[in-house]
Amino acid sequence: MNGTTARRVALAIAAATALTGITACGSSDGSDNDSKGSSGKGGGGGLGVSPIAALRTIEKSTDKADSARVESETTMGSVMSMKASGALGWEDGLTGNMTITYTGGQLAETMRQTGSTSMEARYLPDAYYAKMGEQFAAQADGKHWVKYAYDDLERIGGGSGAYMKDAMQNSTPHQSVKMLLASGDVKKVGEEKVRGVNTTRYSGTVDVAALAEKSSGLSASQLADMKRQLEQAGVTTETVDIWVNDENLLVKKVEKGQMKTGALSATAYYSDYGTEVSAEEPPASDTADFKDLMNRQPAT
């Protein structure tokens, strides 16, 4: 297959799909449904409750949740913009299926060169899989799926790859609540409606590098590597806003920051908590390994 195309596509899809997973799940929030003993109504926005106390209540109920339907939009400056929808579960590692459509930026143009701007992403606890178009399959020995093992991403991506692996394997949808708690700068904005639902909005500012150090088990060298790459990308802080309904379920999350390539923005909506989620490994005969694709490319 064409080396340049394979390398660019593999790297682009790895970064984009992983980002979508993190945005949709690792930096979001869910909560338990009534049948699983949620912490009750009013915990997210009761009058007289401090923001920290409210978030701790939300975090506890959210930690018991199993799955939700997700709709998200992400923009990373001039690099890419995309939309995603599907269902994700997190009871035993991140699992689920998302349909991702690249709507703009350099990545969308790269995807057009492979014959498709939309793909299916399938998440399993140890790897995720991207289903490419027919044009890509014609260049990949007829295989439509690309497997991205998290261990391989760690080895190839250095500190940022290790952070990605950690987030993909260990993050749960209440991480946005943890982000706000870790920020030390959270406030209750007020009561608002989101898609017709009464919610309470909370907002805070997060130091990205410090958050990684607090919320992951990375080594000192991995953290140093990741911080250097964050600085090179121009990302230093993010603002995080969440909207929680009266059953302590997150219905919306927005993250914003600034990169060297432009503004970073991610918005996600959550619904149908407890929905059934299933994800199976694609057939080996129809799957190419990201590591093998990279090994085919000349060192650059």
**Which residue has better confidence, 10 or 118?**
118
User: Does some domain include residue 223?
Assistant: yes
pLDDT tier at 248, thresholds 50, 70, 90:
confident
Tell me, yes or no, if the pTM score tops 0.85.
no
Rounded to whole angstroms, the Cα distance separating 5 from 227 reads 29
pLDDT at residue 286 is higher than 90: yes
For residues 183, 189, 191, 194, the Cα torsion angle rounded to the nearest 10 degrees is -60
User: Does some domain include residue 214?
Assistant: yes
pLDDT at residue 32 is higher than 50: no
**Are the beta carbons of 222 and 163 closer than 8 angstroms?**
yes
What pLDDT is stored for residue 300 in this prediction? 36
User: Does some domain include residue 39?
Assistant: no
Nearest to 70 by CA among 43, 38, 95: 95
**Which residue has better confidence, 48 or 132?**
132
**Which residue has better confidence, 254 or 116?**
254
For 256-275, the pLDDT digits (tens) are 988 887 888 889 898 888 89
Q: Which of 26-30, 64-68, 216-220, 247-251 has the lowest mean pLDDT?
A: 26-30
**Which residue has better confidence, 116 or 134?**
134
**Which residue has better confidence, 187 or 167?**
187
Distance of alpha carbon 41 from the chain centroid: 28
User: Does some domain include residue 168?
Assistant: yes
Q: Which of 6-10, 21-25, 185-189 has the lowest mean pLDDT?
A: 21-25
Q: What is the mean pLDDT of residues 16-43?
A: 42
Q: What is the mean pLDDT of residues 40-45?
A: 42
**Which residue has better confidence, 258 or 178?**
258
Strands 145-149 and 287-289: parallel
User: Does some domain include residue 167?
Assistant: yes
Number of domains in the chain: 1
Torsions phi, psi of 62, nearest 5?
-65, -35
pLDDT at residue 16 is higher than 70: no
Neighbours of 285 (CB within 10 A): 8
What pLDDT is stored for residue 190 in this prediction? 92
Helix (H) or strand (E) holding 9: helix 3-21
CATH code for position 160: 2.50.20.20
Nearest to 208 by CA among 157, 259, 151: 259
pLDDT at residue 193 is higher than 90: yes
Q: Is 237 helix (H, G, I), strand (E, B) or coil?
A: strand
**Bridge-partner residues for 264, per DSSP?**
76, 257
Helix (H) or strand (E) holding 94: none
What pLDDT is stored for residue 243 in this prediction? 92
**Are the beta carbons of 77 and 92 closer than 8 angstroms?**
no
List of residues 6+ apart from 3 with CB closer than 8 A: 296, 297, 298
What pLDDT is stored for residue 136 in this prediction? 79
What range does the domain containing 60 cover? 51-277+287-293
Angle between helices 105-113 and 3-21 (to 10 degrees): 130
User: Does some domain include residue 140?
Assistant: yes
Task: Output the average pLDDT for the chain.
Answer: 76
pLDDT at residue 77 is higher than 90: no
**Which residue has better confidence, 16 or 299?**
16
Q: What is the mean pLDDT of residues 33-51?
A: 45
User: Does some domain include residue 102?
Assistant: yes
Q: What is the mean pLDDT of residues 175-186?
A: 75
Neighbours of 112 (CB within 10 A): 11
User: Does some domain include residue 3?
Assistant: no
What pLDDT is stored for residue 79 in this prediction? 81
Q: Which of 163-172, 191-200, 203-212, 222-231 has the lowest mean pLDDT?
A: 163-172
Return the ∠ at Cα 22 (arms to 33 and 110), rounded to 5°: 135
**Which residue has better confidence, 87 or 206?**
87
